[in-house]
Structure 1
Amino acid sequence: AVLCGLGLMYVPDPDTALREQHRVLKPGGRAVAAVWGRRDRCSWAGIFPVVDTRVETDVCPLFFSLGTGETLKTVFENTGFTDVTSERIQTTLRYPSADAACLAAFVGGPVALAWARFDDATRAEAQADYLATIEPYREGAGYAIPGEFVVVRGVRL
């Protein structure tokens, strides 16, 4: 089996990556991939314009491309997988504090490289701007931020 959790959206050529997964599987082997879903269903996505105003990045415009429509399912089918299924999963990302929400978004997410280059003043501004984008999801001292995953499964014949 091959499992790729939240990795394909960082790959410049997902078709090649999935063809390689297909190649290394034995007949009957299964592949599963999960990516973030539609940008408008991932309320934490406000992080991208916050970072984009401070540094140029190529990640942001492409990050949700595999999660729109049936894109990832089509890539699976086009790279030789059969019995391909696709599922959208709604979730809530829960953080106990503003610091925890910012840590997950800036340090553990797709903008980590840009974040590492920010000076302290830029980090403070970016955090304040990001917290403003997730303010509608505040629950007490923490946050409950809606999100969506797309999980696609396929089999090598």
Structure 2
Amino acid sequence: MDSRLQLRVQRYGWDRASTRYEALWHEALAPATHGVLRLARLQPGERVLDVACGSGVLTRAALAAVGPQGEAVGCDVSEGMVAVAQATSIGCRFLRTDAQVVDEVLPPDHFDVVLCGLGLMYMPDPEASLAAMVRCLRPGGRLVVSVWGERSACGWSGVFPIVDARVQSEVCPMFFRLGGGDTLRTALAGAGLLQVHTERIATTIDYADATTACDAAFEGGPVALAYGRFDTPTREAVRTEYLDSLQRWAREDGFALPGEFVLGRGGRA
């Protein structure tokens, strides 16, 4: 997919998902959020940038850690996400920008810590975005990111081929690339970071019922734009097909899907 088209798909897709995203995904993503904060080791008074901040969950947690003498800034490509973050956060600052040029919008060499929680997978050029994030760090600053892991370890991953079979271009063509093997470690080192550390976290995503599972996949996530354009019969068909793909993880009171995150940390020289 053309990078400009992919960026537009992500921008307007997350605009559509913004009002439901946090309610549908907050609990499921909590292990990744906590993992990023653990590796970041935020200290009172530090200046933090949260790239691809979404609804501001990680930004708010960062501000709580650095305190009133610190700074927490969030940015996202989605105007809808930025609006939700601004409406639900006190003391943080938010702006809309493409991660790949974040160092042109915010001062370079300024932040003690840059965070990016589950955002790199959506960027047309994650390596270029990482380089821009590193330029926002002060010398000696640190960067911490998380991405989804291996496709085979994420039970909800069937949503992509189901949607892609009905649209002209892939929604997230490279979504699982950074979660495979040592790809994230290589990307962080390639951005010039030192003392790179990566780790994997296995998790379980619980859904109380079929409606919640489908809403999270189709209305609160990366395929929301495509799903929003489907007619009613197509929506019913993709939901049925998706639920069929989840049956191996069905239980009496819903679904328990496997998931995997990869965390990465490195420091600027």
**TM-score when normalising by structure 2:** 0.57
Greater RCO (Cα-Cα under 8 Å, separation 6 or more): 1
What is the SS of the residue equivalent to 2:237?
helix
Give the superposition deviation at 1:116: 1.0
Q: 1:43 aligns with which of 155, 171, 185?
A: 155
Query: Per-residue displacement from partner, 1:81-116 (whole Å, max 9, x unpaired)?
Result: 011101111011111111110111111222111111
* Counterpart check, 1:72 vs 2:157: no
What is the SS of the residue equivalent to 1:12?
coil
Quote the Cα distance in structure 2 between the aligned partners of 1:56 and 1:38. 25
* RMSD between aligned residues: 1.0
Q: Which amino acid aligns with 1:97?
A: D
Whether the 8 Å contact between 1:98 and 1:141 is mirrored in structure 2 is no
Q: 1:89 aligns with which of 192, 201, 206?
A: 201
Identity of aligned residues (%): 52
Whether the 8 Å contact between 1:87 and 1:150 is mirrored in structure 2 is yes
Quote the Cα distance in structure 2 between the aligned partners of 1:56 and 1:90. 33
Quote the Cα distance in structure 1 between the aligned partners of 2:251 and 2:207. 9
* Counterpart check, 1:144 vs 2:237: no
Quote the Cα distance in structure 1 between the aligned partners of 2:134 and 2:230. 39
What is the SS of the residue equivalent to 1:29?
strand
Whether the 8 Å contact between 1:10 and 1:59 is mirrored in structure 2 is no
Whether the 8 Å contact between 2:164 and 2:171 is mirrored in structure 1 is no
* Counterpart check, 1:100 vs 2:208: no
Between 1:60-69 and 1:89-98, the stretch displaced more is 60-69
Q: Which amino acid aligns with 2:257?
A: I
Q: Which amino acid aligns with 1:50?
A: I
Moved over 3 A (4+): none
Give the superposition deviation at 1:15: 1.1
Count of matched residue positions in the alignment of Structure 1 and Structure 2: 157
Quote the Cα distance in structure 2 between the aligned partners of 1:141 and 1:56. 36
* Counterpart check, 1:31 vs 2:143: yes
Q: 1:120 aligns with which of 228, 232, 242?
A: 232
Structure 1 residue runs of 5 or longer lacking an equivalent are none
Whether the 8 Å contact between 1:97 and 1:143 is mirrored in structure 2 is yes
